[in-house]
Amino acid sequence: MCGVAGLMTLDGTSPPTAPLRAMEAALRHRGPDGVGQYRAPGIGMVQTRLAIIDLATGAQPLYEPGGAALIANAEIYNYIELREELRGGLRSVVFSTQSDCELPLHLYRRHGLDFTEHLRGMYAIALHDPAARRLVLTRDPFGIKPLYYAESANGFAFASEPNALIEAGIVTPRLQRHGRDELVQMQFTTGRETVFAGINRVLPGETVIVREGRIVDRQRRAALPEHGPVAFSEDEALARLDAALAASVRMHQRSDVPFGLFLSGGVDSTAVLAMMARLAERPVKAFTIGFADGEADERPAAREAAAAVGAEHVEVAFTEADFWRLLPEIVSSIDDPAADYAILPTWILARTARAAGVKVILSGEGGDELFAGYGRYRSLMRPWWAGGRRPRARGILDDLGLLRGEITGWRDGIAAAEALSGRGARTSLQAAQAVDCSDWLPNDLLTKLDRCLMAHGSEGRTPYLDSELAGLALRLPDDFKIRRGLGKWVLRRWLTEHLPQAQPFARKRGLTVPVARWIARRAEAIGPLVARSPAVREICRPEAVENLFAAADQKRAGRAAWVLLFYALWHRRHIERITLPPDTLAALSDRD
């Protein structure tokens, strides 16, 4: 994994060096193993490298005989198969490196802009073709790897993180209010526009073509099939799942550096553990976090599963003191904001794994979306009179007496995704899964994973988000996903056969971080500081915010208090551009 950035001018003049260097410096944490630079008329690109495959000759930029150059934040998992394919036939390719990222260059020369159709992996690629006078940016279909851009009077700029565009002076950090409203009502933002005015996302699966500093075309590759379920038998579904999971995990374990697993004790990561143990040549290194005063500590379940497969298991404790001390640093790394308290354990696990010498981490992200693990899916399938309702029908801050005025339009992005997801022959469950895969997954869960690991110079891999496995999972019959009030039914059945010690049909809670309890304990000190935050005060009544924090031990109040705390810190760091001290109280109170 790496950081990528670049500038293309409108008039073909050479881009200035200073902003390129500033973007390179801002992305150094993503690639501590080296720096690459590319210059051609009208364009400059930089890459900071985290060396995972081909440590000796895989430095970027990479070039192909036709003159195209590539920088990438990518892992192409089927590079071995593609290499064999491209070596055959009359148009045999001669490779200059062993890098997986060389493959997209040759595929581009052979297939043009459709080259991504052949890739299985996670990627944010920038490819400059001087002969065609175009810059091509492309992102993997699930949006596992981030890519942002900005258009200005001087030209076009792109980077792996919004912060790089801001640090380079290309964009001024101004809040885009619709994104702000989405953030405080849903904990993440949707679509092309980010929370920063003037900074946009290359959408998951999108290819953007830029010529003379302006976007001239776009095309998009779908992450999921639009077909309805296939009538598999139970035995056939289990056999297909086993084969697809084995193929994906095998590819995701391809690495020239040590790799491991984030093990929560839940079904998703435990299934990955079972398959890693089957395929790996040495014991799996698994990392689990727990909370001493959490409502559901999954360390015992993870410990039992790890022991059953002989994994090297590392357990980490996260305390209330850690929360208040580390929160400013963690929020500082989440420039594209996701107010998801799972950033806390992910950050600690990333730091622990990197300290243990593990540079690549597999995780269970995507399992809930593809196998229907969330309670909102079960609610969707119930009739209204039995408690059924559409997902995200109410905003986090609604009906709590907080707001100065109604926040309208915050659901527009999700509504647009819902309209698109119903295409084809999908069931209502499949449509809801597709909605989550279009925005919640890339703009919350995968952003969290990317930023927390890249902050520690590590790479996160997501085996469930392989195109073959994901396509199979979405097309399973609905009752193979949800049965007898339980989600992920077929994955549980598979795990029962392959790792019964995990007790996959036992009812478990998802990862629960006791942030509401911690906030409630310090509400008297923290509540007034959040209430006085200019960002929070703009949308909420200060006295109501203080009352909310005093009631933070209640479920809805606790979630709202967490989101406002996150937002106050995030705004201070990323909009006001103030460096936060390593203490939450000081970070909120140290005002000019």
- What pLDDT was estimated at residue 60? 85
Q: Which residues contact 396 (CB under 8 A, 6 or more apart)?
A: 184, 185, 186, 187, 559, 560, 563
Predicted pLDDT at 291: 87
Rounded CA-CA distance 510/381 in Å is 20
Cα 194 to chain centroid distance, Å, stands at: 14
Q: What is the largest CA-CA distance in the chain?
A: 74
CB 485 within 8 A of CB 378: yes
The per-residue pLDDT for 31 is 84
pLDDT for the residue 280: 85
pLDDT at 98: 86
Q: What is the DSSP string of 409-463?
A: STTHHHHHHHHHHT-TT--HHHHHHHHIIIIIIIIIIHHHHHHHHHTTT-EEE-G
Which of 183, 185, 565 has the alpha carbon at shortest distance from 403?
185
CA-CA distance, 578 to 570, in Å (whole number)?
10
Q: Are 328 and 322 in contact (CB under 8 A)?
A: no
Cα separation of 490 and 199, whole Å?
A: 41
| CB neighbour burial string for 455-473, b if at least 16 within 10 angstroms, e if fewer | bbbbbbbbbbbbbbbbbbb
- Tell me the three-class secondary structure of 59-105, residue by residue: CCCEECCCCCEEEEEEEECCHHHHHHHHHCCCCCCCCCCCCHHHHHH
Full-prediction pTM beyond 0.85? Answer: yes
Per-residue model confidence (pLDDT) at position 592: 46
What's the pLDDT score for residue 55? 61
Cα angle for residues 150, 19, 451 (degrees, 5° grid): 65
Per-residue pLDDT tens digits of the chain, which is 592 residues long: 589 999 999 999 999 999 999 999 999 999 878 889 999 999 999 999 766 665 655 688 999 999 999 999 999 999 999 999 998 765 788 888 888 999 999 999 999 999 999 999 999 999 999 999 999 999 999 999 999 999 998 899 999 999 999 999 999 999 999 999 999 999 999 999 999 999 999 999 999 999 999 999 999 999 999 999 999 999 999 999 999 999 999 999 988 788 999 999 899 999 999 999 999 889 999 999 998 765 668 899 999 999 999 999 999 999 999 999 999 999 999 999 999 999 999 999 999 999 999 999 999 999 999 999 999 999 887 765 555 677 888 999 999 999 999 999 999 999 999 999 987 789 999 999 999 999 999 999 999 999 999 999 899 999 999 999 999 999 999 999 999 889 999 999 999 999 999 999 987 666 678 999 999 999 999 999 999 999 999 999 999 999 999 999 999 999 999 999 999 999 999 999 999 999 999 999 965 4
In angstroms, the Cα distances linking 504 to 243, 265, 383, 523 are 20, 10, 27, 38
* Domain annotation for the chain: domains and CATH numbers: 2-220 (3.60.20.10), 234-502 (3.40.50.620), 515-589 (no CATH)
